[in-house]
Chains A and B, each alone.
Chain A
């Protein structure tokens, strides 16, 4: 127990927690949207995120971008990496839906089977980067940690006076980027015509299809949107941690799902609240006790919240949001 450690570094810990939480929240969106519409935990979503991080690495490698590149190159490479990661992740999510979930939906299989094919897809994707691509192309693929060049150099933009906390450009990008994407998605789901279809299917699939909503198309849309958000998260993750690995998705995915459940699964704003909450709790708890127990804190928080508020902090409401 070391509360002094937390109090002394409270500003720093809060910043770390928000950064971490923003990434969790973006990945959590994919889980929460798919769950809201299909009542299904998409176990392959963690690997959708992982594919995004590799795409970022690929774009940097092709463009030859490094930490010493000029300003134009930095902006160009980062934007291109963002678009490529969003496309690759959305494509992966769509492929998973096509291969693993659609045939089962046609057969009316029970929910358990969807989980199993999701886990199967997740293993296949992990092994594609850990083994198959290594077999054909060699490094950097394989079962090792890979460095992603820090194209965007970390610089202190300003210092918060009083607490003397340095805010760097990468932190701003991650936090602002995550919030902008979430607001955009929230607006899309709540204001646009397609978004109304998503909410309708989440509320009552049968009635929605009677009202002329194409359910299959809504499901595809949800996977694409969730995948694209995971792609954004992947770029932000590589900016913050400068690395990727074939099995990086597992723990991030687990945390992101925990965040989604914490905030109230099926609720977009809940994903943001849950993600930030989880990120901050993890960092605080690690400061007070020991950082080798980080994952344990996350699950203890989950169980405690579920015991006292089974529908999460904000409740479940993709469909029940103001129409």
Chain B
């Protein structure tokens, strides 16, 4: 194992990438993106073995790909909060649920909210808020929730944030379950709207059968978000987050307004979580409270930390592994949580910096390890 890791380190992939000519970088990137779009039709041996629908009990490959990409969006959003700003958010599922519920509450003819709007303004029975309007609603809802949750709690010490956010995730779920006359309670909301598109073969462009179209949509959103997140990471805001993560006191002495930038990170993370939830709810066309259990929050955090917090590609890898592996090994469904727990402990003990940490983060870890060793040697 360690030999493989050493060999991998010897390659110095990151340095080579930075040193390569721009043309090569663009070509490689385009190739990777093209391959990603081709994935639903993957049929070339031996790569086809990664498909999840090889046996009759397997899950639909394109749907799995869609879920992977949605969780990747989540991981990129949570990476801003945990990896860049160093805030532990254990209630991320709350924002994800808010996104899904926003589109369901305003876009579905089945929702009590739309019903109330219909009778209030005398609209017809088929009327609902259009999909395009639901997107800003979802974004604004999760943004507001992020600011409301963050404003009182981000002034507290970091450890308290973990427990308050954990509570927030539960509150959202319990609220969705109990408010029968707003959210239909445990029954959930059906007929969640899909994005508009031309009709093909007598079906909507986005329907429950052709999952690859959903995958392409989510992938496009993901690529856009990765681009924006990269820009953000290298901006003034990104540097401020880094400074806060490293040493908040030192950062504030240098004039970095800690609270303001932490709130920014929280709000941006919340928005991306809501966006991912919106995609998920729209694809399922059905939203119910039990889809947003606390375990999902732990899974999200695990994605970012196992992949290597602070590095977008680490977060993407973590999201891929933790979504793909359980789907690939569906036969062992009862054993999955156990294996997940064991893997979580094992990976973190053997490689606390994550599988592919950012280079800066890896050096920090190396530094801390030396300090710990020296401290131990002194005693």
Which residues of A pack against B, CB within 8 Å? 35, 39, 41, 99-100, 103-113, 115-117, 119-124, 126-128, 130-132, 209, 250, 254, 257-258, 261, 265, 290, 292-293, 295-296, 298-300, 302-303, 306-307, 310
B354-370 contacts to A (CB < 8 Å): 365, 368-369
Report yes or no: A116 in contact with B301, Cβ–Cβ below 8 A.
yes
Q: Which residue in B86, B152, B170, B302 is a CB contact (below 8 Å) of A299? A: B170
B280-309 near A? 1/0 per residue, CB < 8 Å: 000000000000001000100110010001
- Contact among B162, B164, B171, B348 with A120 in the assembled complex (CB-CB below 8 Å): B348
CB < 8 Å neighbour of A113 from B178, B305, B342 = B305
Q: Is the CB–CB distance between A120 and B342 below 8 Å? A: yes
Query: When the two chains form their complex, are residues A99 and B174 in contact, meaning their CB atoms are under 8 A apart?
Result: no
Which residues of chain B from 153 to 186 have any CB-CB distance to chain A below 8 Å in the complex?
153, 155-160, 162-164, 166-168, 170-171, 174-175, 177-178
Do B164 and A121 touch (CB < 8 A)? no
Contacts of B166 in A (CB 8 A): 254
Whether A113 contacts B152 in the complex (CB less than 8 A), given A108-B372, A120-B342, A296-B175, comes out as no
> Does B46 interact with chain A (Cβ within 8 Å)?
no
Residues of A within 8 A of B305 (CB): 112-113, 116
Which of B30-38, B51-59, B213-221, B330-338 forms contacts with chain A? B330-338
The interface of chain B, by Cβ under 8 A from chain A, is 82, 86, 88, 152-153, 155-160, 162-164, 166-168, 170-171, 174-175, 177-178, 294, 298, 301-302, 305, 309, 334-335, 337-338, 340-345, 348-349, 352, 365, 368-369, 371-373, 375-376, 379
- Ordered by A's residue number, 8 sampled pairs between the chains whose C-beta atoms are within 8 Å are A107-B369, A113-B352, A115-B162, A119-B298, A119-B344, A254-B163, A299-B168, A302-B163
Chain B facing A: main interface SS: helix
Q: How far is the CA of A295 from the CA of B167 in the complex (A)?
A: 8
**Contact B371–A131 (Cβ < 8 Å):** no
Find out whether the CB atom of B163 lies under 8 angstroms from the CB atom of A41: yes
What distance in Å separates the Cβ of A216 from its nearest Cβ neighbour in chain B? Answer: 10
Instruction: Please give me the residue from chain B that is nearest to A215 by CB atom.
Output: B379
Q: A112-B86, A112-B309, A124-B338 are in contact. List 5 more A-B contacts (CB 8 A).
A: A100-B349, A104-B349, A108-B373, A119-B344, A126-B337
Q: A131-B334, A299-B171 are in contact. Are A121 and B348 (CB under 8 A)?
A: no
Known: A41-B163, A128-B338. A109 touches B368 (CB 8 A): yes
Complex: A313 Cα to B338 Cα, angstroms: 38
Residues of A within 8 A of B170 (CB): 254, 295-296, 299
Q: B372 is contacted by which of A41, A106, A124 (Cβ under 8 Å)?
A: A106
Which residues from chain B contact A300 at a C-beta distance below 8 Å? 171
Complex Cα distance, B155 from A106, in Å, reads 31
Do A124 and B341 touch (CB < 8 A)? yes
CB distance B164 to A115 under 8 Å? no
Cα(A45)–Cα(B86), bound, Å: 24
With A and B bound together, what is the CA distance between A306 and B167 in angstroms?
Answer: 13
Q: Is the CB of A306 within 8 A of B152?
A: yes
B160 touches A299 (CB 8 A): no
- Residue contact B164 to A127, C-beta cutoff 8 Å: no
Shortest CB–CB separation between residue A113 and chain B, in angstroms?
A: 5
User: Is the CB–CB distance between A103 and B349 below 8 Å?
Assistant: yes
The answer to whether A293 and B156 touch across the interface, beta carbons within 8 angstroms, is: no
> Are B368 and A117 in contact, CB atoms less than 8 angstroms apart?
no
A104, B153: Cβ atoms under 8 Å? Answer: no
Give chain B nearest CB distance to A306 CB in angstroms: 6
Q: Are B160 and A306 in contact (CB under 8 A)?
A: yes
State the Cβ distance, B246 to closest chain A Cβ, in Å.
11
Q: A103-B349, A108-B368, A299-B164 are in contact. Are A121 and B174 (CB under 8 A)?
A: no
Please name the residue on chain A nearest to B175 by beta carbon: A296
Q: Provide the residues of chain A in CB contact with B368, threshold 8 Å.
A: 107-110
Whether B171 pairs with A296 at a CB distance below 8 angstroms is yes
Given contacts A123-B344, A261-B163, A299-B171, whether A310 and B156 have CB atoms under 8 Å apart is yes
Contact A131 B338 (CB under 8 A): yes
Residues of B within 8 A of A250 (CB): 294
Alpha-carbon gap, A160 to B344, bound state (A): 53
Contact of A99 among B159, B302, B345 (CB under 8 A): B345
> Does B174 contact A100, Cβ atoms closer than 8 Å?
no
Contact partners of B294 in chain A: CB under 8 A? 250
Q: How far is the CA of A63 from the CA of B187 in the complex (A)?
A: 45
Q: In the complex, A296→B167 CA distance in Å?
A: 8
